[in-house]
Structure 1
Amino acid sequence: MIYKSCLILMCCLCFAMGISAQQNQLQQDDQSAQHISAYIKNCFNTADEFMDAEQYDSAQIWLNKIHALLPVKNISLDNYFLLTRQAEVYYYNNLQQLGLQESRRGLAMAEALNDSILLADSYNFIGLFFMNIDSAAQSVKVFNKGLRFTKQPPNPKQYISLSKPHHLHGNLAEAYFKLGHFDSASYHYYLSLQKAAAINWHRGIAVAHSGLGDVFFALHSIDSALMHYTEGANTAIASNDIDVALICYGGMAKCFHAMQQYSSVLTNLDAGFDLLTRQPNINRFYALVFLNTAIDIYTTEKELHRLVAALELKSKIGKENIDDNNRQLQTILNASMQNEKRILTLQVSEAERKQELANTRLILALIGFTFLAIGFLVYRYFQNQKLAVSKIRQKISQDLHDDIGASLSSLQIYGAIAEKTLTEDPDKAMKMIKKISDQSKQVMENMNDIVWSMKPHAMATVSLEAKIKNYGVELLSDKNILLHYHIAAGIEHHLKDMIARKNILLIIKEAMNNIAKYSKATEAYLELSVINGNCILNITDNGVGFNRTTITPGNGLMNMERRALELKGKLSIESTAGQGTIIRSIFPV
């Protein structure tokens, strides 16, 4: 009896200890989660501080810390905040296509969370990127969508800083201003002013006054423009928003210049230069806008001494912009590639882990379950397909990384030459800056093409047909070449392989470039179809043609032939001097 009582007591003690241990583990897990959440919030705050100081490469470092902690495919507020902060870094470094891509991912996450606050924020970012890629009309539609969801603060405490109603109204007003719709612009600037005043947001109030000043100046209502510029400057100075105050001083100087009150012009320009002297870290974009205004006025009034000083300051800020942009762009692009590589590595690791699990199941199935063995072989096949796709993506990612690395080296060289010759040979420096701009655009276009080819065709926001049409029309219309095209319906369903999509697009782009550069044609024809299981691509032009026996093939022709071979097909080029060129390619679907 005593033995049984002791045994029961021991069992009870063990059960109680087990429950206690489980509770302790749950408490430890909860404390760990709270610690990680607090650390992530601190990382966001630090990143925001660096962005406020225009140190976007440092902000990217803190965003990378968050990238390393958050689950890649998780739908949460933190993941949304990370997407939008990353988009903001791209925005301020003129990486518009990358930023638009991140903003669209943010919109998809906001829709999944069914969160109106996040939806308004997403549409605001997408509208900004459209406006900065010269699609102001498209941005108007997007901003209006965002206004359907936006609401005034305060937001719940778990939200960090997000777009507010006055941001959306102000950005919509700017889009209307760019389109020349001044009545709509002033209407939304007034709404932005009201919304900002309702929450006592002084920067928003100052920006709205500045925008209204621009509208009234464009309408030649100088008195109204001066009033708003003055209100904006006073509000900005009181809230220490020096960059906005600087823009308003420039606007006031324009108004006084239009009113031929030159002493007041100089007073306001001197006030702006005083701000630039006292605040050396002022936003360079606003500084350059102010300096351009001052330079125009000094040139008109033949104030040579003041003009030289303004030009020297503009040159200095321009040089600082080049240096900082090169440094920050390299850091941000490297970080972006590291994050992409990390995601792909996780996919490969996950696929390999599943492969190991599949092998274990195969061994167990072979013991006696024939049916399971057959089913498992099918499962293993699909896992191998996923692993192959992940490795292909990793290869494309590495190719992209190498391409960007080479381009960044060239950008650094051009930047160094521009820096050395900026004073001695400004024309040469401008040529180097033009090369930096052109090569940056080419890097972005190449990155966009490869990212597009990596997406499954069902998830791509732009179809192959649309990319071909947009590229061809934009490139050839500048050369007065009329493009005719026939792309078979449903071609996307036949071209699902990412390697095929990439190579077809690059063959077509190379051919279009050659037509634009060398053909002197007036018309070009493109046909893409699927016949008897083969993809047929024909590109012709009515240009001057060439004799292949008398020219040395360049990289372009060899690249097209190499890409056709990579598709297990062939490519032929038929051309006769004076009779145009025909490019034919055929490969199995």
Structure 2
Amino acid sequence: MNKCLVVILALCFHFANAQKEPNATYQFLKKIDDINYLNDSKNKSSIDSLQLIIDNSSNDTIKGYFYRIQAKFLISQLEHDVALKSLDKSIAFYKNANNSLGIIKSMMNKGGVLYQKGETKKATQEYVNALAIAEKKGYKNEIAALYKNIGLVYYSQGKTKEALAYNNKALDIFNQLKSKKDIAATYVNIGNCYFDDYQPQNALLNYNKALKLSKETNDNQTIAKLYNNIGSVYINDLQDTIKGIDYLLDALAIKKQMNNQNDLIIQYNNIAAVYLDIRKYDLALSYNDKAFELASKSGNLEELINVYDTYALINSAKKDFKKAYDYHKLYSKTKDSLLNIDNLKAVEEINTKYQTAEKEKQLLQKEAEAKKKTTTIIILSLLAFFIAIVGFLIYRQQRLKNVQQKQEFELQSAITQIENQNKLHEQRLAISRDLHDNIGAQLTFIISSVENLKFGFPTMENSIKNHLTKISDFTKTTIVELRDTIWAMNANEFTFDDLSSRIYNFIEKAQSAKENTAFKFLVDDSLKNSKFSSLEGVNLYRTIQEAVNNAIKYADATEVSVQVQPNENGIVIDISDNGKGFDLETIDFGNGIVNMQKRIEEIGGIFKIQSELTKGTQITISLNK
């Protein structure tokens, strides 16, 4: 099943400065606004009938409030472009009324719609602009909501550290305000970050905190999202599919009552993926058909990609490889379309900025030429009388010009360096996305195909089945190593805390596979904040992983220890076991030990190995910091 979580945007639709508005109109708007989702024909009729009255009103704050409510209805019906027009009207009316709180809330809603459309850059700019107003005015609730939304943007880009930082800042403020609904929504987003970092227990801890608060406030919208997310944890990380499906179906029941179309697309596709995993193909098709119907209607390319991918996997599992191939082509075509749309927008934006900069540059050049001509005329006219002053001015002008040129050169060098760093980071992100989306999907397809072969031919010889099992196990191991590689590529640097969590996860898996072997992993507290480059981090992790694997596979050890200590020059890592050992003078080192040594030497470290027959093996890694 895809890790398809529901994230929570601060789409706030509350009224500001109500005491200043005509009471009857305000009360009517407030009654509509208090509904969780404006999703039925009765509410649509109420909104449409009120528009003529509102447009004839002279009260700009009431108008701003109305168009924000209208946008709320349009968003629930997936009419995002029309909703954006309503929000632009709302912001304009609030500006006429000088209502800063209304402006902030409508800007937040606009950022949320842009985010749902996949326009993260525009969404972030809207949030940042709203945050500047909120901080100037001291609106704590809106500041916290904007922190949460900016954290969501970072989360969507895979930057879970930054996302956690912004969500924790939001949580501190919401706790001060004792706002249970907002606290619950923030816990959901924090749980999502832990879920993406493969920390299921931390994810469940935060989800359950949010669920408790949401039940206290009867917030069915958030409860439905939490049921979906908790179900995803049980299915993906805790391998409890039955319990996970129960949560997903509970979420679907609530979302059907609310009739939020975008949430229903995600939920139907989520459930289809689970039924695919447990080989209930007819149920998988049924739910995926419902997701396809809604996604096609809304033109939601992001969700269509997931739906086509699920169709391809279902038909492959059913051995209808022609249909599977056709859907895979639709998946690739839709994905390429989305990427091309984004690229065209990015190119157009860059071109616009370039043209604007060129026009400004030409204007400055003309102004400089005009000033130069004027200065020349004045100097020639007064040359006889002010030759000394002119000489001083020329000297001063030249000196300022030299300083300016030096500053411009330094600035240009800094800009070039930043641009190179940004390009490198973008390339790394692109590579990691390709690895995850293409190679990861292909490896999953291989596992599915191998399992289908085993189940499709029950009379197959045991030797062939065993060989297929080995292929499946090897592919699963490759997926785990691929995730580790993506994790390393997406970070510019690591702390020992980051590295420790990965090593702990690996040792826990080793413990489950080797129950009679005691594992010990100790890191000195003074080293937890030590920083490593991406290359250093991944080389250390791979070396420790290989050393522990060797102890498990070949040494027959009952104890394996990994200890990290500081020394005068940097860090020392000892990996030791009490296994059978070997004779260093007669042993022929395999690729594993040679590769470990190369990895450590590549990052400027020293690799040593000591072993004696019956006395175990010790590997020492010294790294200067």
TM-score (norm 1): 0.47
Tell me the TM-score normalised to structure 2 length.
0.45
